[in-house]
Amino acid sequence: MDLRDRLNARLKEAMRDKDQKRVGTLRLINAAVKDRDIELRSDSKTAGSPEILAIMAKMVKQRHESARAYEEAGRLELAEQELAEIDIIEEFLPKKLSDEEVEAAVVEAIAETGANSVRDMGKVMGVLKGRYTGQIDFGAVGPLVKARLA
C-alpha cells in the first residue's frame, strides 16, 4: 500500500472513530498533496511518495516553528495543538536517522558523487534528498556536508 493509500485509509478510520483532531490533520495533509498534484498537472504527473514525504516533512517543520512561537507568546494550548499535529504527521514519516547514520550517509553520498569541493555540495545534497527524504533534517546536514567538503 503506497503512502497516499495509507493516508486515505487512516482518514477513513479517523472519521469512523470520530477523532476530529486526527481527521483535521489528515485532511490538511491531503489538501497539501492535492495542491502539489495541481502544480504537477501541467506535466501530467501526480505527487509520488518522495514528494508526499517532503510535503509532510515541511509541515512538521512549520508546526515546530509555530509551536515555538506560541510558547514564546504564552499560548500553550495552541502550542500543544501544533505538537499533537506533529505526532499525527510523523506516524507516516520514516524513522529519523541517528547522528552516526547521518554521518555515514553523508560519507557515502560524497564517495558516490565523487565530490571533492564545496562546489559539489549540490550533487551530494541531491543524492541525500533522493534517498533520505523525511529521515534527515537537511538544514542540519548542510553544514556537515560543507565541513566534509572543505
- The cell for 109 is 553520498
Out of 3.40.50.2300, 3.20.20.70, 1.10.10.410, 1.20.59.10, which CATH number does the structure's domain 99-149 have?
1.10.10.410
Q: What CATH number belongs to 3-90? A: 1.10.1510.10
Q: Could you read off the pLDDT of 133-148 as tens digits, one per residue? A: 778 888 888 888 888 8
Q: Could you read off the pLDDT of 31-60 as tens digits, one per residue? A: 999 999 888 887 777 878 888 888 998 899
Whole-number Cα distances in Å, 118 to 54, 126, 136, 148: 25, 14, 20, 9
pTM of the predicted protein model: 0.74
CA distance 128 to 122: 10
